[in-house]
Amino acid sequence: MSAKITLGKIIGTEKIAHISKVENGLKCNCECVECGEKLIAVNNKNNKREIHFRHEIESDCKGGIETALHLLAKQIVAENNSIRLADNKYFEYSKSEIEVTLSDYSPDVIIEKTESNQKWLIELAVTSFIGTEKLEKIKRDNLNCLEIDLNKVDRKINSSELKELIINNLENRTILNQENTEIDKEKSDENYWVYAIGILIAFLGFRRLFKRK
């Protein structure tokens, strides 16, 4: 049995909606991301069946499950304003762009801290990961790049759980390239305070030693 369709595109927009977030029936105002046909939401609270979308007109289309998940993942990054890069290190951004063509490649999402002109390319791997050729171009352009692995994510995942995986989970992400020193600078600041406290403790120790004499 094929997987149930849980993601649809809101008609007239590029927005992806989870079955749990729309009205029942044709009131969902959604279409299939794969074939473009109207979808019917089967999510009546009184219905004991597993909630899902089905095509208004019977079809063999599988609903483009991976495509829809990829679109929703990009949407989540674009609509947020911070993302976790490393342990206790978040990159806060005020601008985001989806599928913008750079010189000769297109990242999934570009996020930017406009006040400092710092950027990160975010790659969301649902069915395929970034290749050597694309990574070499990113390094050539001296750009930061974070890849988030969504390959093994349950295709029925709801939007809230997916957001948590994308924004906060450390186990599914890899920094493929880092050109600016923002994170390193924060670590250097931490090392500075450790160094300063060490000097202070040593100084107080010498004072006590001289007082005893």
CA 20/CA 127 separation, integer angstroms: 24
Nearest to 111 by CA among 65, 143, 134: 143
At residue 9, the pLDDT reads 98
| pLDDT tens, position by position, 59-72 | 899 999 999 999 99
| pLDDT tens, position by position, 72-128 | 999 999 999 999 999 889 999 999 999 999 989 999 999 999 999 999 999 999 999
Query: What band does 202 get if pLDDT is binned at 50, 70 and 90?
Result: low
* Average of per-residue pLDDT values in the chain: 88
Better-scored residue on pLDDT, 91 or 195: 91
How far, in Å, are 84, 151, 169 from residue 165 at the CA level? 10, 12, 5
> Is-above-0.85 flag for pTM?
no
The pLDDT of residue 21 is above 60: yes
